[in-house]
A and B are shown apart, each in its own frame.
Chain A
Amino acid sequence: MLPDFTILRPATLAGACALLAEHGTAAAAYAGGTELLPAMKLGDAAPRFLVDLKGVPGLDPLGVHDAAVRVGALVTHRRLELSPLVARTLPALAWLERRLANPRIRTTGTVGGNLASGRPHSDLATFLIAAGATVTCASSTGTTRTVAAADLTLAPFHTALAEDEIITAVGIPLPPAGTALAHQRFVLVERPAANVTVRLTAAGGTVTDATVVAGAASPVPAALPEAAAALIGIPLDAGPADLHPAGEAAAQTLTVTPGADEAYQRQLVAVLVRRAARAALADLPA
Chain B
Amino acid sequence: MIPGCRPLDADLAGDLDAVATRLGWGGADKPAWHGRGLSVGVSPAGVSARSSARVELRPGGRVAVLVGSQEIGQGARTVHAQVAAEVLGVPLELIDVPATDTASTPYDRSTGASRSTTVAGLAVQRAAERLREQIVAAAARRGVPESDLAALAPLAGDGSAQELGGGSGPALFWEVCVAGAEVAVDPETGRVDVREVVTVADVGRALNPSLVERQDEGCTLQVVGNALFEEMLFGPDGVLRNGSLVDYRIPTVGDVPGRMTCVIVENGDGPGPFGAKGCGEGVFGGLTAALVTAVTDAGVRVPELPMSPDRVWRWIHAS
Residues of A within 8 A of B (CB): 38, 102, 186, 188-191, 261, 264, 267-268, 271
Which residues of chain B are within 8 angstroms of A271 by Cβ–Cβ distance? 188-189
Q: In whole Å, how far is A210's beta carbon from the nearest beta carbon of chain B?
A: 21
Sample of 9 more A-B contacts, CB < 8 Å, known A102-B252, A189-B246: A186-B191, A188-B309, A191-B246, A261-B310, A264-B310, A264-B313, A264-B314, A267-B188, A271-B189
How distant is the Cα of A264 from the Cα of B242 in the complex, in angstroms? 20
Contacting pair A268 B247 (CB below 8 A): no
Residues facing A in B166-191 (CB within 8 A) are: 188-189, 191
Chain B interface residue count, Cβ-Cβ cutoff 8 angstroms? 16
Q: In whole Å, how far is A36's beta carbon from the nearest beta carbon of chain B?
A: 14
Contacting pair B188 A190 (CB below 8 A): no
Which residues of chain A are within 8 angstroms of B252 by Cβ–Cβ distance? 102
* Known A-B contacts A268-B189, A271-B188, A271-B189; A188 and B246 likewise in contact (beta carbons under 8 Å): no
Which residues of chain B are within 8 angstroms of A261 by Cβ–Cβ distance? 310
Q: In whole Å, how far is B35's beta carbon from the nearest beta carbon of chain A?
A: 21
Cβ-closest chain A residue relative to B245 = A190
Cβ-closest chain A residue relative to B247 = A189
Contacting pair B313 A190 (CB below 8 A): no
Name A190's contact: one of B189, B191, B247 (CB within 8 Å). B247
* Known A-B contacts A268-B189, A271-B189; A188 and B314 likewise in contact (beta carbons under 8 Å): no
Q: Does B33 contact A (CB under 8 A)?
A: no
Q: In whole Å, how far is A239's beta carbon from the nearest beta carbon of chain B?
A: 16
Residues facing A in B85-117 (CB within 8 A) are: none
How distant is the Cα of A261 from the Cα of B248 in the complex, in angstroms? 18
Contacting pair A267 B313 (CB below 8 A): yes
How distant is the Cα of A191 from the Cα of B309 in the complex, in angstroms? 15
Q: In whole Å, how far is A19's beta carbon from the nearest beta carbon of chain B?
A: 30
Q: In whole Å, how far is A257's beta carbon from the nearest beta carbon of chain B?
A: 14
How distant is the Cα of A191 from the Cα of B229 in the complex, in angstroms? 14
Cβ-closest chain B residue relative to A265 = B310
Residues facing A in B240-264 (CB within 8 A) are: 242, 245-249, 252
Give a binary string over B215-256; 1 marks a CB under 8 Å from any A CB, 0 the rest: 000000000000001000000000000100111110010000
Name B246's contact: one of A190, A264, A267 (CB within 8 Å). A190
* Known A-B contacts A264-B313, A264-B314, A271-B188; A188 and B247 likewise in contact (beta carbons under 8 Å): no
How distant is the Cα of A28 from the Cα of B99 in the complex, in angstroms? 47
Which residues of chain A are within 8 angstroms of B248 by Cβ–Cβ distance? 189
Which residues of chain A are within 8 angstroms of B267 by Cβ–Cβ distance? none
Q: Does B308 contact A (CB under 8 A)?
A: yes
Which residues of chain B are within 8 angstroms of A188 by Cβ–Cβ distance? 229, 249, 308-310
Question: Which 9 residue pairs across A and B have the least CB separation, nearest first?
Answer: A271-B188, A264-B310, A189-B249, A190-B246, A261-B310, A271-B189, A190-B249, A264-B313, A186-B189
How distant is the Cα of A38 from the Cα of B244 in the complex, in angstroms? 11
Cβ-closest chain A residue relative to B249 = A189
What are 8 A-to-B residue pairs whose CB atoms are below 8 Å?
A: A186-B189, A188-B309, A189-B247, A190-B246, A190-B247, A190-B249, A268-B189, A271-B188
How distant is the Cα of A107 from the Cα of B314 in the complex, in angstroms? 37
Output the residue of B191, B245, B247, B309 with the most chain A CB within 10 A. B309
How distant is the Cα of A264 from the Cα of B318 in the complex, in angstroms? 13
Cβ-closest chain A residue relative to B314 = A264
How distant is the Cα of A38 from the Cα of B229 in the complex, in angstroms? 24
How distant is the Cα of A271 from the Cα of B245 in the complex, in angstroms? 28
Q: In whole Å, how far is B15's beta carbon from the nearest beta carbon of chain A?
A: 35
